[in-house]
Amino acid sequence: MAKMMWRCSVCGDIHYGNKPPEICPTCGAADAFVLTDFDEAMKIIGRRTGPLDSKEKVVASWKDFAERNGAILLTESDEEIDMLCSGVLENLRNKGFRYCPCRIPSGNQLKDQALICPCNFMKQKNWGELGECWCGLFRKKEGRS
Ligand code: SF4
């Protein structure tokens, strides 16, 4: 069954999956999810977070992500961060989303969500074998599997 987007009718939480959660993980409402679509979900999420459309905001989001996750580190190379952030922001301007600068979106928005940085790199082969994401922006903390 194809995955779909769901919106909690109580708090607006967005869920992407084969079926909606019985209990909303954000507000705790029961059986409150209704089918939504990509554009509606993006409008809701965008209104809540504001655009990540500058180098300062994107790098801050990467740092926050790495700090909250005990298993990963952001590269210490400012040059790499600058280069990857420029690529991500160029993709935002030209393709509408902060896609990974190292990979080419297919044009299918739902499928391409997996390429929005940070992507699902922890599930990729590179992470298991080399201990870093495809572009080397994030790497595994020593001693963490
Ligand atoms: S491979 Fe690295 S740089 Fe590319 S989207 Fe994933 S996390 Fe971002």
Query: Which residues line the pocket of ligand 1, CB cutoff 6 A?
Result: 84, 100, 102, 117-119, 121, 133-135, 137-138
Burial environment of residue 133 by CB neighbours within 10 A (0 to 12, 13 to 18, 19 or more) = buried
Domains, the chain, ordered by start: 4-49 (2.20.28.10), 55-140 (3.90.460.10)
Residue nearest to atom 6 of ligand 1 (CA): 119
Other C-beta atoms lying within 10 Å of the C-beta of residue 72: 22
pLDDT, position 143: 64
Which of 52, 123, 129, 134 has the most ligand 1 atoms within 8 A of CB, as the residue to mutate?
A: 134
pLDDT, position 144: 59
CA of 121 to the centre of ligand 1 (A): 7
Instruction: State which ligand 1 atom lies nearest to the alpha carbon of 99.
Output: 5
List all residues 6 or more positions away from 55 whose beta carbon is below 8 Å from its beta carbon.
82, 85, 86, 89
Residue nearest to atom 7 of ligand 1 (CA): 118
Distance from C-alpha of 67 to C-alpha of 86, rounded to nearest angstrom: 22
**Residue among 137, 140, 51 at smallest CA distance from 87:** 137
Which of 62, 133, 139 has the most ligand 1 atoms within 8 A of CB, as the residue to mutate?
A: 133
CA of 123 to the centre of ligand 1 (A): 12
pLDDT, position 48: 72
The DSSP output letter for 25 is T
7-35 core/surface letters (b: 16 or more CB in 10 A; e: else)? bbeeebbbbeeeebbeebeeeebeebbee
Distance from C-alpha of 99 to C-alpha of 118, rounded to nearest angstrom: 9
pTM: 0.74
Mean pLDDT, consecutive 10-residue stretches, the chain (145 aa), reads 91 94 95 94 81 95 95 96 98 96 91 93 93 96 70
